[in-house]
Structure formats: C-alpha cells, structure tokens
A and B are shown apart, each in its own frame.
Chain A
C-alpha cells in the first residue's frame, strides 16, 4: 500500500493508504483528527476548510497523494499554534461574539475567516462586505451575522 507523508499541525505524519483517498478521510478516519467536518464531500459546504501551507483549502477535494512531504496541513486543532498562543485571535473573537450555535460548521468557518483576512491584508486592504458575502461556508443554524462581526473583530488582532 502506498505510503503518504506530509506535515500535520507541525508534525510529520505518515499513513498507509491509497493515493486517491481524499485528505478529509485521512485526517478523520485514519489519523483521528476530527476538527474538519464532513458536510457534503464535494467542496460545497466548506465545513472541512483547513489550511495548506497557510492557504484555505477543502480536504474533501484533495487526493492525499497530491501532498508532498513538506506540505504543511493545518486544521482547526493546529491553528492556535501558528500564532504560539492558546487561541488564535479569530478563535478568541468567535468566543467573544458567542458565534457558535451547534458548532458543527465552526471549525471550517474560522479557518475560512483567517484566510479571508490574510488575503485582504496581503492585498493591503481591510476586509469588505464583498469579502464577507463571498464566504461560501454554510451555517444551517444561521449565525451569519455574528460570523461577520467576529471576522471584523478578529481581523483587528491578527
């Protein structure tokens, strides 16, 4: 069986599984990293949003064989470590705004939010309403307004 190796939340990991198995299942079913959630498996709902080398991606749409040994996968579990704190500023903003309802989509929402803020910062601008409108992550509890407020608040501290 092929051996897959990549970096996950700061550690080198190796798993024996086929090239075509999507990263989401490698994380959840093989490695037991359950922060990224299943909501559709077709890169629509965005509940599994995580970071690959600092960019938001959806592991349900990435065959694990496409990762190289130096690729760094960050899930919600590893987000705080990227800023060497107990909580990333976006996670703190999420708590401050009491964003989560059922919480199922929230790991994906937070990972998307961090990427949206980083993208705006790289383009030398503030997060806009258009940026927020463009976030595709579904929240079936409908906590969208608090998500928007938390992203703006979290951006202040990033």
Chain B
C-alpha cells in the first residue's frame, strides 16, 4: 500500500442489520481515494459446490475460476477508486480490455455503487503491477467473477466518505442525505456534488474501514443494457491502440521472418544495401529474424522484401497436416476394451486454427542503458514485465509496462511475443521502436490453436447411457504465460494433484453436464514444436463439438429426438432451462426443406450455461454462391443462443460477446483453419484464413439472456463458442445426412493460391484507385 500508515481498526459504527460488511480502505491523497483488496470477498465457491453436489466430477468440485480466485487470496495489492474535483471518478483496471467490454462493465459497477452518472466514470488500464502477483491476468472469462466485489467495495467506501463529508458541508445527518447522479442533497434541499467534496472527503492518513454494498433489489445500473463507454472514441477514430500512440522517436519496425516455423537467422547478405534504402534507419539481426526500422511501415515492408537472408531450419521442419495426424494417432490414449453393451463411437480431427486478432502482434519499446518502457496490449502484463526485465538484465523496478487498449485478443494477447522483440530491437539499435508484425507473419508465425483429435465412446442400454469416455489428443498448447503458474501453485490443493499441467487445465475447464453414468475425459499432448496458445474457449469448442455430435448419433440410433434426449439427460435446472429456451424460441423440430436442418447443442463452463440452436442451408445453390477470393459454403441462416451467466452486469455487452462467440463457432465448424505443409502454414492473409465474413453471417440472430438465479456473475467472454461450433456441426450433419468428422468441414479443399514464403511478406498493391466504390 503506497504511503500507508498502519491500518486503523475497522470503523466502529454498528453494521446495518443483516447486511454483510466488507473491508476497504481510504488512502492518504489530495482528493478522495478509496481502495479494496483485489481478492474475492466471498468464500471460495468450491466449498459450497462440493457440499451441494455429491458427484466426483472434478469440475463440479472446483472449476478453473475457483482456482484462479483462490490463487489470488494471499495477494495484498489494492485497486483504487479516485474522485476528482471535475465530478469524474477514475479507476485503473488491472486487466486488459481487448473488446470484451470490461471497462464498461467496471464503470457500471462504480456508477451503481456510488450513484454517480456512468458517463462520469473513467476506467483506464493499469500498468503491469507485480505486487498483484497472480491478479493481473485476463483469461478464463474470469474478470467479472474476480473483480465484481472488490470494485464495488472500493466504490462503496468512496460513497460513504462522500456522504460523511456532505453531512458536514450541508449541516445534515448522513441519514438525511440522498445521493443521486453525483448530487448529494441534504436538509431543506441544500445540495453539493461529488466533485465539490473530492478534496473535503480526502484522507490525511490511510485507514481501513468497513462498508456494506448496495443490495441487488436497489440496482439501477447493474443489469441494465449500456453502450460501451469508449463507443464515441471507437467511431470517430480517436480510440488509441498501441500503434496509434505517439511515443517520441519510436519509428516503425518490422521483422523479416524465416520461411518455416521458428526458423533461425543464418547470415544476412545485403544488410548495408538495405540500410541505404529510402527511409531505413537500422537493420539488425534478432532472435526471431532480421529487424528493420524505417520512417514508415511501407518502407519497412520494402526493406524486409529486399533482405537476402540465409535461414536455419525451424522447429517444425518438413511437417504437414498428414505428419501431425500420424503423431496424434501415435499419442492417442486407448479407449479401453470395447464395452459388453451396445455403444457408439466416433473420432474427430480438428485442424490448426489461428487466434490472430485484427490488430497484429505489436509493441512499442524504449530501452535505455538503465531502464526500459514498453507499451502493448497484454493480458499477462506481470509475466511480460518479468520476462522483459530478465531478457534485458534490468531490475524489475527499472521496467515500466503500459497496458494499452487491444484490437482483439482471442487468446493471442496472453503472450507478448512482439514486446520481447521490440525490447531486443530497441536495445540493439539504441533507439525507440514501434514494432508491428505483418499480417502474413501474424498468420504464419503467430500462435495457433493446436491440431487435435478427439475420440468418444458412449456405452448404453436402450436410451440409458452407462458410460461416456473421451480421449482428446492434441499438439501441445503453450500455457507458459503465467496462467499455468496459478495452476502449478494450486495443484497440490486440488483433487487433480497428480495430473500434469495441461491435463490439470483440461480437467478444470471441461465438465460433463449430462447424466451419462461413469464419465472420463483425458487429454494427451504431443509435439512442442509449434507456436501455440489458448484460443477463445481453449479446449472446449473441439471437446464439446465431438461430444454433441456423438449425442446426436446416439439419439439417432435409439430413435430419440436430439433435443429431448439432451433435455432428459442434463443434470441441472439451469442447463435444462437454456436448452428449453432455444428449442422454444428457435421452434425446434419445425419442418424444413431437404438440404437444410436445425442443430442444437449445449455447453457449460465458468459457472455459466449456454445452448445454441442453428439452422443451416447446405443446398447446392447456397453452397455454390459466388464470392470473390472467399469461401461461401453452407450458410447458417439462423442462430438462437440462450445464455445463463448468472448475474449479468451489462446485458448489451453480454449479447455482443455471444454474437462474437456465434461467429467464431460458425468459422470453426465450417471455414477457418490453417494448412500445414513443408514446415509452414500456407495462410498469409484474411483471404486465405476464412474467418466468418458478412457473406457467412446468419441473417437471423436471437440472443436470450436468462433471468439470474444465482445472484453472482459467471464468466461469459468465451462461453458461447463451444455450443455454437457444436450446433453448427450437428446441423450440418443433419442437413447432409453425414456426420462431419473433420473440422472445419472444408479443410480438405484449399480455397486459395498460397503466397510465397520468400520474401516473407507480400508487397502492397498499387491498384487501389481502380477499386473505388
């Protein structure tokens, strides 16, 4: 705690009857600053969940969010709410905003608790704060779960201090005051404002105080649909991403990269010649390639293309989809002896996919002899800061890491590949750099969701399921961004202590929502030669897709309706409710033309539940509809998605997240994958890697947010991907009459002409004027 005196004992006022008290702080500062510890103020849910559910399924005892929350308990880092004389309230959120809307939902929590206008709350992103230990990681859809109470506690302490100051200013008792929209009114209608009291309510010395939180039946902001607080900046071009920042002297920098994955620089034949090109200031070899720094990125591209570099082999030399398929087959864990009862069995292949955001990997770095300053969108900034300090041989305190607004993440920004390169280039050139990956680099050398297979066996008698086995085999997922540290640190306390690291993550993130008797899921990993990482919803889309397809297969075999079979098998009420909702809203079972069909699927995670019903059109006229340089294929014509994320802070934001999840699910099922050949990925463009485009977008989308039955926020940023992918796959199977087993379904057809690997980036076209419209 900066500048803190010894904490005073909790204030002695008698707590309101029946209302739980929370401890917060008032910090010594010129204007009112209040704080709370960023640790869950409630007992870990594992205890209550364990008491409720006598099952041995590990995810019902504890899921990943509980592990993350529990891991944060010993931390002492504070988060602070600051009140300013201009009527605004500010808060530096120790998380990364990458589009998921957490700056808005956090501002809503503060506006709610303080009764100030939402527009007066400014939420920025905190620099890397190592004192927060594990508590500055954005992942696992954990942000709202972890920050919901602490943010409100800090805001409630501020409200209490403002009321105390207002009582003096207005010569009223605190109980006579009302606070509305930042205006505090006392006896005889006299009033003052939050801004007018910002200095009067400030503390001379830091004190610990206790506070109550507003009760949910009095919420006027939480649970109401709100637009994003940065919407105006986003639509006017004023929103600043890393590459938009004006850091003095930081010149555009790009890296000439190897033709194969993780190839290494051998020698550079023409560095001097390239250094003399227009605009170019520096050419230096670094760990990952040859960096060029120039006046503009256009001149960087020219220089990268002009470099003549001999390369050493990479980490996936000669590998292809087919060789990896064989590696996976060799690594697959056995399903065991065939059961004595009837069973259904399936094997599914999921190809490499890119978690590339629209903003490519990028970072600004200014490295001096005794210090370094870095700007980048980072979901694990503490780990990044530690890694940067280690790389530069600087003390941790000499490195400042600013977390900037991110242009999408989807898991990509858990890592800090560009930041590490930027500090290396800055040190070697002695100059500040603005380093950005070319799109081709981001696709070919950037991190991927690893290729995997999933095998499922369901043993049954009639329509009663006796056992469910799933064996997921995957190219190794790199979890080395610090997420894993939490798991490692906590693993001894979990019932999965004897499991390996990825397997622990797998077990904690997967669950069996159906009453399928004896259930087991195992993960085995192979081949660490690829640049991988978590991609939105991590293992769940593939695992759930395989499971839901097999449920359809079993339902078909036993003559049951896929929806009814699921509904009758789901274990709990919240799960059944979302499934019933999509069946009702989506008119499950309605008569549809041949070649079109509905599909339905379910997924639960992050203390939340989701169900998706889709309709797909696989008729030749639709599949063959022409689009230049794109993939059309089957069209999802309708998506109905029901979500129960517990207490929803911002329904409009949740709807946005679910819409994105649906688009991801469509892409994963139908169109988006990387093709591995000769040790490199062929995709180098958005017209190679077929993420959902407007021509694939469902004309009808209906998102239903279920009423809260828990009183607590669940996670949601990734939740809808798995059920969306699975529902599309199920619908595709029902429309075509053939269950798909390879994803995306179009992977076998290469729908583009691969770009060369040398030079590694394509030149920008010059015919832009010809395409004006």
Contacts and interface: CB of A to CB of B under 8 A. Distances in A.
Contacts of B299: 21, 25
Interface string B693-723: 1110111010000000000000000000000
A8 interface: no
A42 B299 CA distance: 15
Interface in A108-137: 110, 115-116, 119, 129, 132-137
Contact of B693 (A28, A55, A136): A136
Contact of B766 (A47, A61, A75, A142): A61
B235 interface: yes
Contacts of B99: 101-104, 141
A133 B694 contact: yes
Contacts of A102: 98-99, 357-359, 405-409
A47 B296 CA distance: 18
A153 interface: no
A77 to B, nearest CB: 5
Contacts of B762: 41-42
B80 interface: no
Given A52-B769, A57-B771, A62-B769, A142 B231 contact: no
Nearest to B635: A133
Interface in B394-411: 405-410
B301 interface: yes
B360 to A, nearest CB: 7
A13 B383 CA distance: 44
A17 B278 CA distance: 9
B686 A38 contact: no
Interface string B286-302: 00000000011111010
Contacts of B698: 145
Contacts of A39: 358-360, 439, 686
A104 B659 contact: no
Contacts of A101: 99-101, 228, 408, 656, 660
Contacts of B662: 142
Contacts of B240: 34
Given A29-B252, A103-B234, A144 B768 contact: no
A41 B409 CA distance: 20
Given A41-B764, A102-B407, A140-B408, A91 B236 contact: yes
Contacts of A103: 99, 230, 233-234, 239, 405, 407
Contacts of A21: 279, 296, 298-299
A76 B236 contact: yes
Most A CB atoms within 10 A — which of B241, B405, B664? B241
A133 B622 CA distance: 13
A40 B408 CA distance: 15
A155 interface: no
B771 A58 contact: yes
Interface string A1-40: 0000000000000000110111111101110101111111
A83 to B, nearest CB: 13
Contacts of B296: 17, 21, 25-26, 28-30
**A21, A63, A147, most chain B CB atoms within 10 A:** A21
B237 A63 contact: no
Interface in B639-685: 652, 656, 659-664, 685
A95 interface: yes
A73 to B, nearest CB: 12
A144 B616 CA distance: 18
A63 B762 CA distance: 15
B359 A37 contact: yes
B246 to A, nearest CB: 6
A148 interface: yes
A144 B232 contact: no
Contacts of A22: 298, 764, 768
Which secondary structure dominates chain B's binding surface?
A: loop
Contacts of B465: none
Given A41-B439, A55-B772, A134-B694, A143 B660 contact: yes
B436 interface: yes
A66 B241 CA distance: 29
Contact of A61 (B356, B359, B768): B768
A57 B692 contact: no
B701 A145 contact: yes
B530 to A, nearest CB: 21
A135 B696 CA distance: 11
A142 B663 contact: yes
Interface residues of A, number: 77
Given A40-B439, A42-B439, A106 B234 contact: yes
Contacts of A146: 656, 659
A66 B769 contact: yes
B228 A100 contact: yes
Contact of A94 (B231, B408, B686, B695): B231
B369 to A, nearest CB: 27
B687 interface: yes
Nearest to B225: A98
A9 B537 CA distance: 42
Contacts of A76: 235-237
A25 to B, nearest CB: 4
B234 A129 contact: no
A43 B773 contact: no
B243 interface: yes
Interface string A48-60: 0000100111111
Given A42-B439, A42-B685, A101-B101, A144 B233 contact: no
Contact of A52 (B243, B279, B772): B772
Contacts of A24: 298, 764
B691 interface: yes
Contacts of B239: 103
A133 B769 contact: no
Interface string B744-772: 00000000000000000110111111011
Contacts of A62: 766, 768-769
B535 to A, nearest CB: 12
A44 interface: yes
Contacts of A66: 766, 769
Contacts of B471: none
Interface of B: 98-101, 227-228, 230-241, 243-244, 246, 252, 278-279, 295-299, 301, 356-360, 405-410, 436, 438-439, 627, 629-630, 652, 656, 659-664, 685-687, 691-695, 697-699, 701, 761-762, 764-769, 771-773
Closest 6 pairs between A and B when the two form their complex, measured CB to CB:
A35-B237, A142-B663, A102-B99, A104-B407, A61-B768, A103-B234
Given A22-B298, A22-B768, A43-B764, 20 more contacts: A18-B278, A25-B252, A29-B252, A29-B295, A41-B761, A44-B439, A55-B773, A57-B772, A66-B769, A94-B234, A95-B227, A95-B232, A101-B660, A102-B359, A132-B694, A133-B627, A135-B694, A141-B358, A144-B697, A145-B697
Interface of A: 17-18, 20-26, 28-30, 32, 34-45, 47, 52, 55-63, 66, 75-77, 80, 87, 91, 94-95, 98-107, 110, 115-116, 119, 129, 132-148
24 contacts: A24-B764, A25-B296, A29-B298, A30-B296, A36-B237, A37-B407, A38-B297, A43-B768, A57-B772, A61-B766, A61-B768, A77-B236, A102-B357, A110-B235, A132-B694, A137-B694, A138-B691, A138-B693, A140-B357, A140-B691, A141-B358, A141-B660, A144-B697, A148-B697
